[in-house]
Amino acid sequence: MSAPSLSISTVLDDGLSRLIDEVAARQRLDFGRASAQLKPDGTLVTACDLWSDQTIVNGLRTLYPGEGVLSEEGDCRLPDSPAFWVVDPLDGTTNFAAGIPCWSISLARFEAGVPVLGILDVPPLGLRIVAQAGRGAWSNGIPLEPPAAKPHPGGCVSLCSRSIGVLPKRPGHPFPGKVRMFGVASLNLVSVAMGQTVAALEATPKIWDLAAAWVVLRELSCPLRWLVRDPAQILPGADLAATGFPVLAASEEKEMERYREWGECLVGMDVIG
């Protein structure tokens, strides 16, 4: 049984867009007023995370019956339906709870084990990035070009709070980029596709952190290097609650080669998932 296809116009115009609008509006309303609790895995969660997760999951089940949903705050097992969704209802909870206006809503639709549709909404910026396999990527409806086609004299590189540990791992080799940290895995990765950075190194992203960005990066010809395990090889039913997918993303092959050894340094560190 094959999964039905979704068109870009459907993504932008139907109930899915309205569902994301609803969640984004609630998050903007709660921003600056949310208190956080510590989860067993050491990450934070707020009431807004839980409400957003439940609202998105219920909405997807209504809009796309028969398609499974894996979500950060809900069922973390990989669905066995032909098509399924992977959801991070609020990526960047630490920022959100601290009053830092940088977080995202991440949704991706998978077919045959790989994401074919990615949606990243950034509520504090009013920004929505959409990508569909084989059809390209858009930012607020405007087509995006591969970052390799644009000059990037700044040479910024996105690291996370764990991957920053690679900096002293190559004595005598100064890190070639200007380090930036957004505190949001999905936005760290998609910054490469947007031409804001030339590379991103993430130590412990979960499947919900990277799923939507994965589609955007692929559609804009940005190479990805899975450093430990390939998420496309995970079998249905696997519990991904504690599984990380360390990854290096780059704007083009030249940048991938420049940062490849730094990514390999991460593999030997005890911080990766």
Average pLDDT over residues 210-236: 98
Given the DSSP bridges, would you call strands 142-143 and 178-180 parallel, antiparallel or unpaired? unpaired
Residue-level pLDDT at 45: 93
Specify the fold of 8-143.
Fructose-1,6-Bisphosphatase; Chain A, domain 1 (3.30.540)
Residue-level pLDDT at 12: 56
- Alpha-carbon gap, residue 66 to 72, rounded angstroms: 20
Residues 164-183 have pLDDT tens digits of: 999 999 999 999 999 999 99
Residue-level pLDDT at 1: 42
- Alpha-carbon gap, residue 214 to 132, rounded angstroms: 11
The closest alpha carbon to 271, from 181, 201, 208, 209, belongs to: 201
CATH number for region 147-267: 3.40.190.80
In this model, does residue 9 exceed pLDDT 60? no
Q: CB–CB of 148/221 below 8 Å? A: yes
Residues 50-105 have pLDDT tens digits of: 999 999 999 999 999 999 999 999 999 999 999 999 999 999 999 999 999 999 99
In this model, does residue 40 exceed pLDDT 90? no
The domain locations on the chain are 8-143, 147-267
Which residues on neighbouring strands pair with residue 111, listed in sequence order? 83, 114
Average pLDDT over residues 184-191: 98
Q: Which residues of 79-111 are buried (b: 16+ CB within 10 A; e: fewer)?
A: bebebbbbbbbbbbbebbbeebebbbbbbbbbb
Residue 232: count other Cβ atoms within 10 Å of its Cβ: 12
pLDDT mean across residues, the chain: 93
Residue-level pLDDT at 11: 52
Q: Percentage of residues in the chain with pLDDT exceeding 70?
A: 94
Residue-level pLDDT at 265: 94
43 pLDDT band (50/70/90 cuts)? confident
Average pLDDT over residues 131-145: 94
Q: CA of 213: how far to CAs of 63, 120, 160, in Å?
A: 22, 7, 15
Q: CA of 15: how far to CAs of 22, 84, 106, 266, in Å?
A: 10, 17, 16, 41
- Alpha-carbon gap, residue 71 to 153, rounded angstroms: 38
Residue 5 or 223, more confident: 223
In this model, does residue 157 exceed pLDDT 80? yes
Residue-level pLDDT at 2: 46
154 pLDDT band (50/70/90 cuts)? confident
55 token code pair: 């609202």
142 pLDDT band (50/70/90 cuts)? very high
pTM, full prediction: 0.93
215 pLDDT band (50/70/90 cuts)? very high
Residue with tokens 């030339």: 198
- Alpha-carbon gap, residue 120 to 107, rounded angstroms: 7
* Rounded-to-5 percentages of helix, strand, coil across the chain: 35, 25, 40
Average pLDDT over residues 252-259: 96
Cα 236 from chain centre: 20
Residue-level pLDDT at 48: 96
Instruction: Say which amino acid occupies 202.
Output: E
